[in-house]
Every structure is written in structure tokens, then in C-alpha cells.
Amino acid sequence: MKPLSISFVILLIFGISILFMPKLVFAESLSSKLKGKILLQVESKGEAWYVSPVDGKRYSMGRPNDSFNLMKKLGIGISNSNLNKIQIADENLIGQDSDGDGLSDMAEDSIGTNKNNKDSDGDGYIDKDEILNGYNPNGAGKVTVDINFTKNNAGKIFLQTEKNGEAWYINPNNNKRYFLGRPNDTFNLMRKLGLGITNNDLNKITESANTTCDNYQCLITAASVCQPILVTISYTDIPFPLNPDMSASGQTKYEIKKASGLNDCILIFSSPIAVLSVSDEGRQAALNNGMTDNQINDQLQTMNNSLKSVSDVKTTCQSNASIISEYLTDAKNGNTKVEGKVNSAGQTTTYTTSSGQKLACTVTN
């Protein structure tokens, strides 16, 4: 057969890319159109999603506490002077209200008005009326709303770094900021502001790994259906095999991702980040042997530095969800078996699960 000419190959690649382009462009425009919005999965049980304006990915809102934590996690720090450029919405301002001006104590702490005085600046207009009508509740005149600043930040969640990290959501539909006071307020607000979306359209937006899980059980549950998730599992006081007076604490990060094809699920885990410590008895024994406290600390430091240098090596395993979840169950029970030997470069390790399934894992960095 005659070899294909380079120009023909380029033409072919170009032709193929044209074929796929409309779909890709559409998916991207849908995601960018929905940036910063809350979506409700109407064909399902009404699950709520937030499309981050930062990365364009969708984040599951979960239950009230999950959604509140998610907002805090995705929130971006902002100064009070910048936050004040955005009009406040009449939402989530109720709650315990010591002075009865219609603004909760929590909201007043955040906004900076006096929670024990209906009319903080004594001009005859109560705090809430001033705020909702664009007047400064703490002094004369109006508050200058900066609509360009607001639009540039539409859909974001801001955290007040100069206060106590209170969260505000900038609603792209009306360019107002919504106070995310208590976990239930956040959840109810998100449901109220949410737009219905079909499963088909929702699937065009990349799902972000969920990060609200921190134990093997929820990792295994997610893995069993290949639900994307990021999990950090911490451990403490694990005996150190080389020295009974020492113990290790630290964490391991796991990630589950979807892939296409037969082996359609990916597990990525990083080598544990471990920190060694010495027991009081161990320290006393070393002191009795003539070591000084400084020498003990230096030795610990040296050991921890060398541990640090091997941490964060990532291993990637691609298989089906049931094998991955079985492997994780074995790992949880301290029951993982390595099959045969690792390959010559030490890059691939094959594990055998308790039911005899094989899982090949590759070092990826």
C-alpha cells in the first residue's frame, strides 16, 4: 500500500476535527453560559449542582451541611470595601434579631451595622431599609454599587476575609449578593435560585470530584459506582516498624475518575504523606542514653525530610468499578496482595484482590 502523504494526513485530521467540533463547541458554550449558576436535575430527584465560574465544572450540592461546606470551600476571599460594591438581596437576612430591625444579628455582624440598634447611624431610617434601598446604614449618603465589578464576579462565592469568613453568593440572574448565613439558608436559597436542567444537558458539563468525604467507607461506596471523588484519609499513631518507640501519622489522597472503554474507572492514589514522632518513653530512653533533646529533634527532622522526598508519588490503576472497590476494601482491611513482582522499571504493580481479581497500577509521576 502506498504510504499516505503528510498533507493527506493533515487533511484527514482536520476533517475529523471538523466533524467533532460542533458538539464540543456546544458543550463548552453550555458550560460557560451556566457558569456560576445553580442547576436542579429535574429528571432525577432534583439534585442540586453549582457550576463554578472559576473552573466551569459542576459541583454536587449534596445535603444542607454539604452545600454549606462546599460554598465555604469554593469561596474566594474578598475585602469589605470590594464586597460593598455589590447590592445586597433581601434574602436570608432573618434569624435571631436582637434589635428587631429585620436584619439578623449574624447578617448585621457581616454587614457591619449595630445589631443592638435598629438605626445604627441615627438618621431616622432603620438599617434594613437603608441597605435594601442602597443607602449607607452607617453614615450619610448612598452606597456606590459598581455594576461592572458585580458582573465580572457574577456567580462567585465570596468569603469575608476581614470578618469571620461569612459567605455571599453573587447571583448572576440579578447581580445581587445573597447572604449564606446558616447551612439551611444556603441549601434553601440554592434550591430557590436553581434552574431546571435535563440529564442530557447536565452531562455536557464536567463533574468535579466531590471532596466532602474523608474515610474509606465513602471512598469505597463512590468507587463501587465509579462516582468521581477526591478523598483524603488521615491516620494517626501507626506503629513504626523499625522502632517501637516511634509512630507515624499522616494522610493518603485517593481520587476516583471516570474513563471510557471496558476498563472504565480510574483510581489514583498518592503515596502517604507521613510524619514520624517519638513517644515520651522513647525520648526518655534516648536522653538516658546520652542524647540531647536537640539531637533527638534533629534526627526526627532528618527522617521526616527523607520521607517527604518520597511522598506525593502518584499511582494510577484503571479497571472496572467492582475490581477497584474490592481493591479498596482489601486496602481498608490491610489485606492487599501484590501479585508476582513489579515490572523491571518498578513502574507497574499488579495487585490480587481477595476474590482473585487482578488490578494493575502504574506509577504516573
Q: Is 103 in the site for Ca ion (CB under 5 A)?
A: yes
101, 185, 255, 326: residue in contact with Ca ion (rule CB under 5 A): 101
Q: Is 181 in the site for Ca ion (CB under 5 A)?
A: no
Q: Is 123 in the site for Ca ion (CB under 5 A)?
A: yes
Closer to Ca ion at the Cβ: 96 or 294?
A: 96
Q: How far is the CB of 175 from Ca ion (least distance, A)?
A: 24
Q: How far is the CB of 181 from Ca ion (least distance, A)?
A: 13
Q: Is 113 in the site for Ca ion (CB under 5 A)?
A: yes
Q: Is 121 in the site for Ca ion (CB under 5 A)?
A: yes
Q: Is 99 in the site for Ca ion (CB under 5 A)?
A: yes
Strand partners, 239: 247
Q: Is 88 in the site for Ca ion (CB under 5 A)?
A: no
Q: How far is the CB of 318 from Ca ion (least distance, A)?
A: 56
**Is residue 259 left, alpha or beta, with left meaning phi > 0 and alpha meaning psi from -120 to 50?**
beta
Closer to Ca ion at the Cβ: 125 or 216?
A: 125
Please state the three-class secondary structure of 150-167 as a single string.
Answer: HHHCCCCEEEECCCCCCE
Closer to Ca ion at the Cβ: 103 or 159?
A: 103
Q: How far is the CB of 218 from Ca ion (least distance, A)?
A: 40
Determine the Cα–Cα distance for residues 176 and 186; give it in Å rounded to an integer. Answer: 15
49, 53, 71, 97: residue in contact with Ca ion (rule CB under 5 A): 97
CA 188 distance to own-chain centroid: 21
Closer to Ca ion at the Cβ: 68 or 135?
A: 135
Determine the Cα–Cα distance for residues 20 and 12; give it in Å rounded to an integer. Answer: 13
Residues contacting Ca ion: total by CB under 5 A: 10
Q: Is 119 in the site for Ca ion (CB under 5 A)?
A: yes
Q: Is 330 in the site for Ca ion (CB under 5 A)?
A: no
Q: Is 93 in the site for Ca ion (CB under 5 A)?
A: no
Closer to Ca ion at the Cβ: 123 or 281?
A: 123
109-115-118-120 Cα dihedral, nearest 10 degrees: -60
Strand duo 58-60 + 48-51: pairing? antiparallel
**Residue (of 90, 86, 108, 91) closest to 99 by Cα position:** 108
Closer to Ca ion at the Cβ: 121 or 207?
A: 121
Q: How far is the CB of 92 from Ca ion (least distance, A)?
A: 13
Q: Is 255 in the site for Ca ion (CB under 5 A)?
A: no
Closer to Ca ion at the Cβ: 108 or 326?
A: 108
Whole-number Cα distances in Å, 78 to 81, 96, 159: 8, 26, 6
Determine the Cα–Cα distance for residues 132 and 116; give it in Å rounded to an integer. Answer: 19
Q: Is 125 in the site for Ca ion (CB under 5 A)?
A: yes
**By beta-carbon distance, which residue lies closest to Ca ion?**
127
Strand partners, 278: 246
Q: Can you read off the three cell numbers belonging to residue 72? A: 465555604
Taking contact as CB under 5 A, which single stretch among the options 79-87, 116-124, 150-158, 275-283 is the one that binds Ca ion? Answer: 116-124
Closer to Ca ion at the Cβ: 118 or 204?
A: 118
Q: What is the DSSP string of 227-288?
A: --EEEEEEEEEEEPTT-TTEEEEEEEEEEEEE-SSSS-EEEEEEPPEEEEEE-HHHHHHHHH
Please give the backbone phi and psi of residue 167, each rounded to the nearest 5 degrees, phi first. Answer: -105, 145
Residue numbers of the site for Ca ion (CB under 5 A)?
A: 97, 99, 101, 103, 113, 119, 121, 123, 125, 127
